[in-house]
């Protein structure tokens, strides 16, 4: 928590800006430590246009005060404001129930319905693909079956790349509404398909919508959520995905006895799309985007409703400082990803998804049903349901932990847990153990892996990328990062079984464990803690070439 600042702290850190764009090496190595400072420190960020934001934490956990300074015509700093609740939206004060998250929740909930659709379309083909292949006359062709399941990844890749340009011009609310069009049309077209070409086109359209939504929903939530609750509300993305998977698995149970049930399942997939399209009509747009396009009155109204009227002036000052320094994102170009600091943020975002995917999450999910069959669970739907419920339990725990423990701790702990789980499975299948014990350890390791993934590597990865991305390039950095995600996802799914057959599951799972350990090291070195800081504070601190002085 931030509390009243003083000018006589015994120790201070001075962050000095020396150039508009630091080198990528300095970006990686800089650790501003504005986040989670000891209570006797003052963190001062010196930014362009002589804008200074001074924040000092102290022992009082229930109050905070930000003093914002702006130079007058003579170069002297004057205090514009002395108030603030650290973006809590007016809640959380005193000792009562903290409901500061409640004003933003309906808007976040509607947006997270898009992730429900994502999860639903992940699981909707799990059981019915055999019936679909038989009815559309490509049964027995494993290549075509795999293409029907995975072609939506191609669409998602395209949608991810298009999302950044769309949101720059239209805003998050309108773009999320437009993305429901391919989701609804694709679901209906797939449900009515009478040929392979029709269902492939339907799945491709679904992927386009999914690609846009997976990029924009985390950004939208991070930009409308009060700072204090940004992590918890951001975790709703993962919860929505888990619930979508579970719903599709429950609805897929009748497909084992009804060969035409898959059509009903795909028709049902269009319903959440209509809900999102209608719900976003009543949702707010991002106040940050509204400011960047000059709609200040609307932004003021949104901030007052979601964060509290006391936050309006301070938020406007922070928004203006970022816009003046980095420019508006409505005229940003993809080529700017080659410039620092955007190139550094894009590299880290892409690297996080490369590590996440090559740590084996989708491969483990693909192979989990075979692991369960070893211990007598022959129903693939039941096996997948175990996996879905475990994933959901981890995501629920993240809700409570992410804004308390922080992003970095959850990511590191998650990857270490994933590594331990992989090595447990390798031990179980490689050691001369009793067969039943070996199977039980394999099940335990698989569920541990999924649970620890759901605590950190799953939800937190998509949350931290918008946090360390600049306001100007946030949409395009997320679009690039998710396009990397979809490419890696595709290749892992394509080559996993072949690698298992060639090298054995122990070797492949050991590799996954090794990549998980490497991921934990990467997070420790390159991801700074961002909990409790506004997006503008993070951007201003990371957009400086930092030198630290101790008094």
What CA–CA distance (Å, rounded) separates 251 from 247?
Answer: 6
In a domain, 21, yes or no: no
SS3 158: helix
- Same domain assignment for residues 324 and 339: no
What CA–CA distance (Å, rounded) separates 474 from 476?
Answer: 6
Element holding 11 (H helix, E strand): strand 11-15
Per-residue b/e over 376-406, b at no fewer than 16 CB within 10 Å?
Answer: eeeebbebbbbbbbbbbebbebbbebbbebb
- Same domain assignment for residues 314 and 345: no
The contacts of residue 530 (CB under 8 Å, 6+ apart) are 35, 406, 407, 464, 467, 468, 538
- Same domain assignment for residues 494 and 373: yes
One-character DSSP codes across 423-448: HHHHHHHHS---HHHHHHHHHHHHHH
Which range among 153-162, 177-186, 366-375 shows the weakest confidence by mean pLDDT?
366-375
| DSSP type of residue 10 | S
- Same domain assignment for residues 405 and 447: yes
In a domain, 27, yes or no: no
Of 328, 361, 391, the domain-final residue = 328
- Same domain assignment for residues 374 and 429: yes
Predicted confidence at residue 6, as pLDDT, reads 31
In this structure, are residues 519 and 415 in contact, taking their beta carbons and an 8 Å threshold? yes
**Domain of 215: which CATH number?**
1.20.1250.20
- Same domain assignment for residues 299 and 416: no
How many structural domains are present in the chain?
3
Of 266, 284, 302, the domain-final residue = 284
In a domain, 64, yes or no: no
In a domain, 80, yes or no: no
- Same domain assignment for residues 296 and 273: no
In a domain, 477, yes or no: yes
Residue 395 has pLDDT above 80, yes or no: yes
Which range among 41-45, 465-469, 480-484 shows the weakest confidence by mean pLDDT?
41-45
- Same domain assignment for residues 321 and 394: no
Instruction: Report residue 380's pLDDT band, with 50, 70 and 90 as the boundaries.
Output: low
One-character DSSP codes across 79-103: EEEEE--TT-TT-S-TTS---TTTT
> Residue with structure tokens 């963190």?
43
Nearest CA to 312 out of 422, 410, 190, 226 is that of 226
Predicted confidence at residue 492, as pLDDT, reads 86
In a domain, 67, yes or no: no
Predicted confidence at residue 374, as pLDDT, reads 63
Predicted confidence at residue 47, as pLDDT, reads 35
- Same domain assignment for residues 539 and 409: yes
Residue 488 has pLDDT above 90, yes or no: yes
Q: Over range 90-104, report the average pLDDT.
A: 70
Residue 351 has pLDDT above 60, yes or no: yes
Of 284, 317, 345, the domain-final residue = 284
| pTM check: above 0.85 | no
Residue 104 has pLDDT above 70, yes or no: yes
Instruction: Report residue 106's pLDDT band, with 50, 70 and 90 as the boundaries.
Output: very high
Q: Over range 275-288, report the average pLDDT.
A: 95
Q: Over range 341-351, report the average pLDDT.
A: 93
Residue 150 has pLDDT above 70, yes or no: yes
Predicted confidence at residue 164, as pLDDT, reads 85
- Same domain assignment for residues 342 and 232: no
Q: How many residues does the chain have?
A: 551
- Same domain assignment for residues 522 and 387: yes
C-alpha angle 156-158-163 in degrees, rounded to nearest 5: 90
In a domain, 57, yes or no: no
Q: Between the ranges 78-82, 91-95, 359-363, where is the mean pLDDT highest?
A: 359-363
Q: Which ranges in 124-235 belong to alpha helices (H)?
A: 129-135, 142-170, 172-191, 196-224, 230-234
293: containing domain? 287-328
> Residue with structure tokens 């997070």?
523
- Same domain assignment for residues 218 and 198: yes
In a domain, 175, yes or no: yes
């Amino acid at each position: 928590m931030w509390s009243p600042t003083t000018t006589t702290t015994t120790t201070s850190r001075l962050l000095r800006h020396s150039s508009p764009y630091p080198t990528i090496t300095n970006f990686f190595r800089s650790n501003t430590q504005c986040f989670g400072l000891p209570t006797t420190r003052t963190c001062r960020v010196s930014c362009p246009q002589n804008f200074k934001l001074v924040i000092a934490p102290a022992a009082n956990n229930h109050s905070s005060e930000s003093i914002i300074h702006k130079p007058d015509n003579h170069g002297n700093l004057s205090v514009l404001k002395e108030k603030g609740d650290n973006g809590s939206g007016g809640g959380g004060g005193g000792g009562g129930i903290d409901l500061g998250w409640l004003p933003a929740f309906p808007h976040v909930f509607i947006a997270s319905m898009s992730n429900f659709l994502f999860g639903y379309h992940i699981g909707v083909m799990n059981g019915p693909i055999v019936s679909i292949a038989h009815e559309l006359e490509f049964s027995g062709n494993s290549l075509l079956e795999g293409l029907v399941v995975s072609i939506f990844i191609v669409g998602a890749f395209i949608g991810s790349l298009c999302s950044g340009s769309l949101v720059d011009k239209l805003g998050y609310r309108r773009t999320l509404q437009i993305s429901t069009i391919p989701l609804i049309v694709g679901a209906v077209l797939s449900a009515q398909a009478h040929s392979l070409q029709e269902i492939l086109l339907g799945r491709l359209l679904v992927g386009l919508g999914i690609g846009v939504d997976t990029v924009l929903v985390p950004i939208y939530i991070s930009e409308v959520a009060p700072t204090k609750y940004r992590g918890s509300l951001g975790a709703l993305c993962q919860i929505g995905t888990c619930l979508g998977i579970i719903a599709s698995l429950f609805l897929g149970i009748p497909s084992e006895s009804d060969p035409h049930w898959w059509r009903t399942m795909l028709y049902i997939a269009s319903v959440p799309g209509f809900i999102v399209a209608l719900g976003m009509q009543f949702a707010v747009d991002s106040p940050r985007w509204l400011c960047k396009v000059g709609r200040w009155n609307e932004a003021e109204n949104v901030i007052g409703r979601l964060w509290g009227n006391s936050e309006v002036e301070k938020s406007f000052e922070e928004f203006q400082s970022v816009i003046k320094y980095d420019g508006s994102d409505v005229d940003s170009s993809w080529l700017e990803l080659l410039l620092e600091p955007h190139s550094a943020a894009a590299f880290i975002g892409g690297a996080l998804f490369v590590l996440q995917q090559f740590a084996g999450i989708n491969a483990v999910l693909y192979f989990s049903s075979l692991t369960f069959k070893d211990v007598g669970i022959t129903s693939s739907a039941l096996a997948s349901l175990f996996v879905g419920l475990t994933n959901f339990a981890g995501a629920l725990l993240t809700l409570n932990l992410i804004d308390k423990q922080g992003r970095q701790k959850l990511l590191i702990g998650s990857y270490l847990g994933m590594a331990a789980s992989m090595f447990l499975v390798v031990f179980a299948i490689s050691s001369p153990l009793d067969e039943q014990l070996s199977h039980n350890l394999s099940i335990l390791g698989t569920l541990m892996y999924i649970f620890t993934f759901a605590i950190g590597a799953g939800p937190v990865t998509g949350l931290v990328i918008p946090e360390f991305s600049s306001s100007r390039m946030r949409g395009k950095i997320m679009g690039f990062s998710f396009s990397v995600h979809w490419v890696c996802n595709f290749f892992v799914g394509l080559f996993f079984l072949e690698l298992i057959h060639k090298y054995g599951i122990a070797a492949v799972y050991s590799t996954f464990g090794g990549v998980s350990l490497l991921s934990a090291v990467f997070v420790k070195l390159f991801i700074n803690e961002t909990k409790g800081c506004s997006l503008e504070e993070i951007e201003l601190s990371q957009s400086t070439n930092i030198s630290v002085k101790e008094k």
